[in-house]
């Protein structure tokens, strides 16, 4: 996030209803019944999109699970809203990464390791 000035404040995207409708046009199978948590399920991935509670919506948080095929949907969402996705695992914008799937794969590996760890008794 070093690319952003300290005083950066995102501009509004649209109302949450408009965001949901835009995502529904992009992904007809998206569940927009809860404007705060829009759910997109692909064959091998699931993306939960948090739009927050403020109006107008000024950011989207994507919670991505499943295969790296989800990156195609993330890219579509970026383009649709003329935005940039930031990978919280890799701490980089996806468009700056030589391998955008690497942060996702790193996250998946770490969650598998945690899931297999013995639990204290």
CA distance 9 to 1: 13
Q: What CATH number should be reported for the domain holding residue 54?
A: 3.30.310
4 located within any domain: no
In this model, does residue 16 exceed pLDDT 80? yes
Mean pLDDT value of segment 3-14: 79
Domain annotation covers residue 56: yes
Task: Please give the residue that has the higher pLDDT: either 111 or 50.
Answer: 50
57, part of any domain: yes
The answer to whether position 8 is within a domain reads no
Asked if residue 12 has pLDDT above 80, the reply is: yes
Count of domains forming the chain: 1
| CA dihedral (2, 98, 81, 62) positive or negative | negative
> Is 76 inside any structural domain?
yes
Query: CA 56, CA 16: separation in Å to the nearest integer?
Result: 6
pLDDT single digits (tens) 33-83? 999 999 999 999 999 999 999 899 999 999 988 888 888 899 999 999 988
Helix (H, G, I), strand (E, B) or coil at 15: coil
Given a cut of 60, whether residue 117 has pLDDT beyond it is: no
Q: Are strands 92-93 and 86-87 parallel, antiparallel or unpaired?
A: antiparallel
Predicted model pTM: 0.73
5, part of any domain: no
- The 3-state DSSP class for residue 49 equals strand
Q: For residue 54, is it within any domain?
A: yes
- pLDDT tens per residue across span 23-36: 999 999 999 999 99
| Residue at 6 is within a domain | no
What is the rounded CA–CA span in Å between residue 72 and residue 104?
13
Domain with 60, as residue range(s), is 16-116
């Amino acid at each position: 996030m070093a690319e952003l000035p300290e005083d950066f404040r995102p501009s509004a995207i649209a109302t949450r209803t408009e965001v949901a409708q835009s995502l529904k046009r992009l992904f007809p199978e998206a569940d927009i019944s809860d404007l705060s948590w829009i759910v997109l399920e692909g064959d091998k991935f699931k993306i939960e999109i948090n739009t927050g509670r403020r109006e107008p919506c000024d950011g989207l948080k994507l919670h991505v699970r499943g295969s790296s095929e989800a990156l195609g949907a993330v890219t579509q969402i970026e383009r649709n809203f003329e935005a940039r996705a930031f990978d919280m695992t890799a701490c980089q914008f996806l468009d700056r990464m030589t391998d955008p799937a690497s942060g996702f794969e790193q996250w998946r590996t770490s969650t598998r390791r945690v899931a297999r760890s013995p639990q204290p008794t």
